[in-house]
Structure 1
Amino acid sequence: MAHPVRAGRLWRAGAGYATGMTAIEPWHRALADLLSLSHRLPPDQLPVAVNDALRPLGAAVTVYLVDAEQRDLRPLPERGRPTPDPLPIDSSLAGRAFTQVEVHAGQGPPPRLWVPVVDGTDRLGLLEVFPPAGTDLADEGVRDGCRLVSGMVGHLVTSKGTHGDTLHRTRRSRPMGVSAELLWQLLPPLTFAAWDTTVSALLEPCYEVGGDAFDYAVDGGVVALAILDGVGHGLPAVLTTSVALAALRAARRTGSDLPGLVRAVDAAIAAQWRDARFVTAVLAEFDTDTGLLRYVNAGHPPPVLLRRGRAVQALDGGRRLPLGLPDDRVDVAETRLEPGDRLLLHTDGVTEARDPAGEMFGLPRLADLAERHIGSGLPAPEILRRLSHAVVGHQAGPHQDDATLMLLEWSAAAAARTQP
């Protein structure tokens, strides 16, 4: 797909030519001002900087970030302004803008626009934009300008997160456990999309995790995927998984193939522990040019292939023992995907989650819900959010185990839905 800038005018993929440059020139100036302010900006001053940049336009904003459990949108506090209440994602207009990754207008009073904040395509929250009185909220020039600013806010939320704790505190409804604090620092963004491919993942419980993790990398048209589940619970399990994840990345970044990745993780775990620790995993490579999927399954639940919105097959090839246990076999399985296909990966904490009567969530229930949400045309991260919350609701109590979901979509239309 060609780069989405044509003839010096702003182009939004799938939407055609947007308003000409002159119509959004004030927003360009605001964007430049915000970029200039950002270089020496403390994280807790982000809302102030955004409002300073938009003041010449007569606009004001409130910045909301999604909480770790993805149930509420929580406002970033701004000195000198009252802090609004959190907004529920499942029962508010703001939540609809977040879940659909689309701009929505609220008639007020006062009138406002709810604009998704993403870093690339990773959903982070919303801007509540109050434009000048009399502004046409349907004006695409205004909406495009808001998208420009919200995109910069998304980049700043991500880049400034390592410089202070305000952004992290805002996204938490309760304290983070030590194991979770460690693991979240190691994971990639929850969602990445290229022109025709989307990778999204979600992990529960978010405040007290065990040994689940996920990883991905996109290079040269090849998507590397990994979903892992370290034996045990709490910090010991996270430490085991962290070693596996580091070994996997180190080997992948030196150009190792799938058998090489398996052997690297085996060696790293065996070198650190003598107590038969292990990590179950699916390691995969997907070639977006040919549709070829190659994978190894190390004692993990098989991925589910969805075609034309229906679950059609569990990919049960490429079997070997969990990573870290002695097993010289590394059989790489292969299958060919079709454009529009999806691959759903999960840990056993999803299908083995039990309700108070002891009934497991189960693979048929997971597949059925996935089909329904795909059929609704939801973006990949929203499909996973709803699946994850269904697992939590099924348990109706504390998690018995981590529950991680990962979704690969090979569809340009699906990828476009992850961008405002």
Structure 2
Amino acid sequence: MSESTADDLARPAHDPRAWPWREAIVDLLGRTRLAQPDQIATAVNASTARLGIDITVYLIDYEQRLLHPVPEPGKDVGGPLPVDATLAGRAFMTTAARATGPSGAGGSPLWMPLLDGSERLGVLRIDAQDNAVVDTPEFQAQCDMLAVLLGHLVAIKLQYGPHLDRTRRTRRMSAASELLWRLLPPLTYACERFIVSAIFEPCYTAGGDGFDYAVDANTAFLAICDTTGHGLRAGMGTAAALSAMRAARIDGDGLYQMARAVDGAFAEQFTDGRFCTAVLMELDLDTGRVRYINAGHHPPVILRDGKVAARLDAGRRLPLGLDDPQLTIGEVMLQPGDRILAYTDGVTEARDTGGKLFGEPRLLDLAARHTLAGRSAPETLRRLSHAVLSHLDGPPADDATLLLAEWSVDTAAELTP
């Protein structure tokens, strides 16, 4: 929230400069306390009408290619907008407000990023009446205040009905993908010293891939995993792995105990020799020290100044689910601004029409270029994922998951308007 917005909120209720916006926010909170997901868009405009603005909510689809308007009774919201070719998409990619001039009749709207904290949910189209100029810092600060609240409301209401989630989907989701999406954390999280983002494809038919993260005091936990097989059976293995890791972590266990918890869960639940390759990491947010276990997975890489500075190829043990009691923990030190890139084999083993692999060199080259171009972690992964899908000859033969974490005091600023 900007300093001017905070000042407005601190003004007394009788101050005419603050009252309309505060009144609208209070009214919105009241309207949405018991609102169904399909009532959010109507509630927003009922509350903001007194401000002389009209808001259209757009949500990003699972492919992160199109921004889809949330339907609103009695209002023509139009069709989806491509991220890569519109001003709305520019606001989404950069998490910054975009306007080309005054709004109103014949004018252009203000596009605001819609975030739940640092998770990119979509954008808001804000049309102001009476040809009000929407590209002033004062107007955008007030709109940002509304956008922050609305982002949280949308994220909460997504859980209570299909209306908002249906807006984001372009086709039916498989049972395995439905299971995993319900288990995974938000795709992006940022705090003052750390950012993590992940993406996985095919988003509607993924089965065995998964990721996880958590932050507690001065420690960030990260994991990426890939269970053998395909479809729902693989998804059930990944669900067991994630659940066992979380139960152990919440109980205060370290990396070794978390890995052994997955071994135990697989031994108890599966009799078909199923296993899960994975990398489990702990990052000390104060010092940059990374401790990790690599359970038969591709080694993550550390990107520094556009180059590979190290690989996490120590800390080796058998894949999770295979009884391996040895205690081996790898360790590496990060420098401020370093990024850790982890991936599953569906990324590097994607093949084009001639059978050529996408390959790790291409992946690392693209990741480095996007980093040097100043793109945020979630935007870097969005572009990497699309590059992998563009390389493919037909539907993906395997899940492709990417996870990117950055240790830096500047990370939060990259993802806030």
Both proteins in one fold, TM over 0.5:
yes
Matched with 1:238 is: 235
Q: Give the partner amino acid of 2:185.
A: P
Aligned with 2:207: secondary structure?
coil
Change (3 A) 1:281 1:252: same
Q: Give the partner amino acid of 2:172.
A: P
Change (3 A) 1:219 1:25: farther
Matched with 1:14 is: none
1:24 and 1:400 map into 2 onto residues whose CA distance is: 56
Query: What are the residue-to-residue correspondences of 1:174-323 with 2, within 5 Å?
Result: 174-323=171-320
Structure 1 residue 150: Cα displacement: 1.2
The answer to whether residue 21 in structure 2 is matched with residue 27 in structure 1 is yes
The answer to whether residue 94 in structure 2 is matched with residue 97 in structure 1 is no
Q: TM-score, normalised by structure 2?
A: 0.95
Structure 1 residue 265: Cα displacement: 0.6
The answer to whether residue 111 in structure 2 is matched with residue 117 in structure 1 is no
1:18 and 1:143 map into 2 onto residues whose CA distance is: 13
Give the conservation status (yes or no) of the 8 Å contact 1:296–1:330: no
Task: State the Cα deviation string for residues 99-130 of structure 1 (Å, max 9, x = none).
Answer: 01110004463331000000000000010000
Task: State the Cα deviation string for residues 34-74 of structure 1 (Å, max 9, x = none).
Answer: 11111111100111011011100010011000001100000
Identical positions, percent: 50
Q: Give the partner amino acid of 1:383.
A: T
Aligned with 1:412: secondary structure?
coil
Structure 1 residue 147: Cα displacement: 1.0
Structure 1 residue 29: Cα displacement: 2.3
Task: State the Cα deviation string for residues 127-167 of structure 1 (Å, max 9, x = none).
Answer: 00001223222211110111111111111111111211101
Matched with 2:152 is: 155
The answer to whether residue 350 in structure 2 is matched with residue 356 in structure 1 is no
The answer to whether residue 33 in structure 2 is matched with residue 36 in structure 1 is no
Structure 1 residue 10: Cα displacement: 4.1
1:286 and 1:327 map into 2 onto residues whose CA distance is: 24
Structure 1 residue 5: Cα displacement: 8.5
Give the conservation status (yes or no) of the 8 Å contact 1:44–1:167: yes
Aligned with 1:405: secondary structure?
strand
2:128 and 2:245 map into 1 onto residues whose CA distance is: 48
1:186 and 1:275 map into 2 onto residues whose CA distance is: 23
Q: Select 2:67's aligned residue among 57, 73, 81.
A: 73
Matched with 2:136 is: 139
Q: Give the partner amino acid of 2:376.
A: P
Gaps of 5+ in 1: 12-16
Matched with 2:53 is: 59
Structure 1 residue 309: Cα displacement: 3.0
Matched with 1:370 is: 367
Give aligned pairs, total: 410
Stretches (4+) displaced over 3 A: 17-25
Gaps of 5+ in 2: none
Matched with 1:332 is: 329
Q: TM-score, normalised by structure 1?
A: 0.94
Q: Give the partner amino acid of 1:34.
A: L
Matched with 1:418 is: 415
Q: Select 1:389's aligned residue among 378, 386, 395.
A: 386
Aligned with 1:103: secondary structure?
coil
Query: What are the residue-to-residue correspondences of 1:3-18 with 2, within 5 Å?
Result: 10=5
2:107 and 2:9 map into 1 onto residues whose CA distance is: 25
Q: Give the partner amino acid of 2:183.
A: L
Give the conservation status (yes or no) of the 8 Å contact 1:294–1:333: yes
Give the conservation status (yes or no) of the 8 Å contact 2:110–2:135: no
Task: State the Cα deviation string for residues 199-229 of structure 1 (Å, max 9, x = none).
Answer: 1100111000120000000010210001010
Give the RMSD, CA atoms, in angstroms: 1.7
Give the conservation status (yes or no) of the 8 Å contact 1:19–1:140: no
Change (3 A) 1:289 1:18: farther
Segment of structure 1 superposing worse, 102-111 or 213-222: 102-111
Aligned with 2:394: secondary structure?
coil
Task: State the Cα deviation string for residues 291-348 of structure 1 (Å, max 9, x = none).
Answer: 1100000010111101123222222111111000122223110111111111011111
Task: State the Cα deviation string for residues 244-267 of structure 1 (Å, max 9, x = none).
Answer: 110000000000011110110110
Structure 1 residue 396: Cα displacement: 3.6
Matched with 1:126 is: 123
2:30 and 2:44 map into 1 onto residues whose CA distance is: 11
